[in-house]
A and B are shown apart, each in its own frame.
Chain A
Amino acid sequence: MSLRSPLGRVRGLGSAKSGTEHFWMQRVTAVALIPLTLWFVYSVIALAGEDHATATAWLQAPTTAVLMIVMIAATFHHMQLGLQVVIEDYVHGEGVKIASLMVMKGASLLLAVAAAFAVLKVAFGG
């Protein structure tokens, strides 16, 4: 059962087909990405030139694996929201626009799942 009132449900479905959700999630993920990407850059620098065993050991540490999953989620969510705006700005034909958005969202999801799966596989020692 939804606790939202009919008015609440209707709101945000004007001609833009959404409310402030998109704008807000772009900001929330942006804030999350500040520490996450700094940590990731730091990690990549520390791993520069290291071999497979060292990189595996790094990713198998629970803290690393958890932070990586969170970073992957924030990155691809933010990326997909951002690219949507870029496509909406430059692609004007309705059909091409919808097709471009579908391809872009599909590719983002695929990349996100692949990244998360790789992290989990390494973390669980596969």
Chain B
Amino acid sequence: MSNGDRPLSPHLQIYAWQWTMALSILHRASGVGLAVGTVIMVWWLMALANGASAFDVVQTVIAHWFGKLCLLGWTWALFYHLCNGIRHLVWDTGRGFELDTARNSGYLVFAASVVFTVLAWIAGYSAMGGM
């Protein structure tokens, strides 16, 4: 079946880097990031099942600045992947492919993911009774 004559698209490096391309690879990156994050979720649930002392260990690790940084990254990955996932689902209906529509929906998704992340963390801190 191999056909050496068929036209090939140029390699990825040939293309000028564009905003929509960055968002596209970010969907994959956030998906993989979320997959790594599930390990934390499972650890948290197992600790909850294992009793108070195991649970305290997880809570302490999460409360550490590095734990919080991971959690912040995870929150953003989730909101980005969720918003851009909805964008994907709209595309699946055949809509939204016009160049400026695709660019604008990209801006919207990116802005929404940042806003939702900030709101979630404000809500989290106020649930804990402030800083």
Binding site for B on A (CB under 8 A): 27, 30-31, 33-34, 37-38, 41, 44-46, 48-49, 51-53, 55-56, 59, 75-76, 79, 82-83, 86, 111, 114-115, 117-119, 121-122, 126
Contacts and interface: CB of A to CB of B under 8 A. Distances in A.
Chain B binding surface, main DSSP class: helix
A86 B127 contact: no
Interface residues of B, number: 34
A45 B32 contact: no
A20 to B, nearest CB: 12
Interface of B: 28, 31-32, 34-35, 38-39, 41-42, 45-46, 48-49, 51-52, 55-56, 59, 63, 75, 78, 82, 85-86, 88-89, 92, 120, 123-125, 127-129
A46 B42 contact: no
Contacts of B49: 117-119, 121-122, 126
B119 to A, nearest CB: 10
A34 B86 contact: yes
16 contacts: A30-B85, A33-B85, A37-B82, A38-B82, A46-B127, A48-B125, A49-B59, A49-B127, A49-B129, A53-B52, A59-B48, A79-B35, A86-B28, A111-B39, A111-B42, A118-B42
> What's the dominant secondary structure at chain A's contact region?
helix
Given A52-B56, A55-B48, 11 more contacts: A34-B86, A41-B120, A45-B120, A46-B127, A48-B125, A49-B129, A52-B51, A82-B31, A117-B49, A118-B42, A122-B48
